[in-house]
Amino acid sequence: MPNNPYTKFRLDDPYSGYKKHKLETRTDPLVINWKGKIGYGDFISPISYAMNMADSNSTDVVLRFHWPQSGPSKFKETDSETYQQIIEQTYNILQKPVFFDVQIEHVYDSKISYNHDNYDMGKTDSDWFRCHNLRFATTGMNDYDNVHENWKNVTMVTSIKHEQPLHEYAKNKAWKDPLGRTPSGFAWPKVGGLIQKRGWNLKHVHYETKMETVIKKMQSSVGVIGYHGAHMWIARMLGLPMIIFSQKELTEHAFPWCIRFNYYSDFHPENIEEYFQRSVAKREEIRNAHKYWLTSPNLYRVRPKRT
């Protein structure tokens, strides 16, 4: 037996003078009002933002979409899903806050004069700009499964089936789809042909493709190639490597791990695998930054401000 010195037992009460305090939590949720619009970015971005606010502010959140219509609606009557159904699917697939609740409400016959409130875009630091509306799905990120036949599948998000190219629909949005405004028509078929010649299998999705179908195609692909907008927001939500044709650096803020090209002449299809690996490396950096960002209190950024 070791010859240790004698130690007296502690006779004082370590809990003397201790008073129980109830944990104070916010009973009033953070309410975010949002003008209802029709793009995937207009659905995925605000829902992701609301969930991030719940985590970073330690509070429940209510996200209210305001619609001028009198009820659930579609862009075209032939569309398979309403905007509200797409919003519900987005909510279901995103990773929920663990300790706080996020509810989505729809307010119909409501024409608000602003885009959103409690959404401060005045913060310009890189992490805020990249992370504030970034939220990952509960599935995806299968980019290292290179022994499976899916390794040769690529999903293409194009504007081939659009009734109007973006530069005709709205000139201020032409930068989002440089391949859609070539003098001879669409350059997308040419790019697709060049990719197929390199042994890749293309899975096309278009604006009217059901969200569930888009997700299944993307999850069976090694990466996604497209333009700024539409289903690229789903690719971002799934954490997939991305190649995007766009003529503004803003794309690299909205899709922070994308590999961006101004035009198809800058793009070398024989390097697709390298582009995707570079995109994965960028994504991993963003994921780490996002984890740390979510742990930083964010209350000073949330103000009753309309933007």
Sequence ranges of the domains in the chain: 30-135+293-301, 149-291
pLDDT score recorded for residue 28: 76
Question: How long a stretch of residues is the chain?
Answer: 307
Is the confidence at residue 8, as pLDDT, over 60? yes
- Candidate from 11-15, 190-194, 221-225 with smallest mean pLDDT: 11-15
Q: Using pLDDT thresholds of 50, 70 and 90, give the confidence band for residue 91.
A: very high
Decide: helix, strand or coil at residue 306: strand
What band does 306 get if pLDDT is binned at 50, 70 and 90?
low
Q: Give 259-270 pLDDT, tens digit per residue.
A: 999 988 889 999
For residue range 111-160, what is the model confidence (pLDDT) as tens digits?
Answer: 999 898 887 654 556 677 788 899 999 987 766 555 566 678 999 999 87
More confident residue, 20 or 272: 272
Amino acid 208: pLDDT: 82
Please name which of 277, 287, 303, 241 lies closest in space to residue 135, comparing C-alpha atoms: 287
Among 116-120, 214-218, 246-250, 253-257, name the one with the lowest average pLDDT.
Answer: 116-120
**Residue 277: what pLDDT?**
93
Q: Which CATH number fits domain 149-291: 3.30.70, 1.10.1060, 3.40.50, 3.30.300?
A: 3.40.50
Q: What is the mean pLDDT of residues 69-90?
A: 93
pLDDT of residue 122: 47
Across the chain, mean pLDDT equals 84
pLDDT-derived band at 300 (thresholds 50, 70, 90) equals: very low
- pLDDT at 133 (0 to 100): 92
In angstroms, the CA 125 to CA 298 distance is 13
Among candidate residues 55, 132, 57, the one with its CA nearest the CA of residue 95: 55
Burial code (b: 16+ CB inside 10 Å, e: under 16) for 223-256 equals: bbbbbbbbbbbbbbbbbbbbbbbbbeeebbebbb
Spatial distance between the Cα atoms of 140 and 150, rounded to a whole number of angstroms: 13
170-206 pLDDT, tens digit per residue, is 566 788 888 887 665 578 888 999 999 999 999 999 8
Helix (H, G, I), strand (E, B) or coil at 157: strand
Q: What would the DSSP string read from start to end of 203-261?
A: EEE-TTS-HHHHHHHHHTSSEEEEESSTTHHHHHHTT--EEEE-SSTHHHHHSTT-EEE
SS3 117: strand
Model confidence at 238, in pLDDT bands (50, 70, 90)? Answer: very high
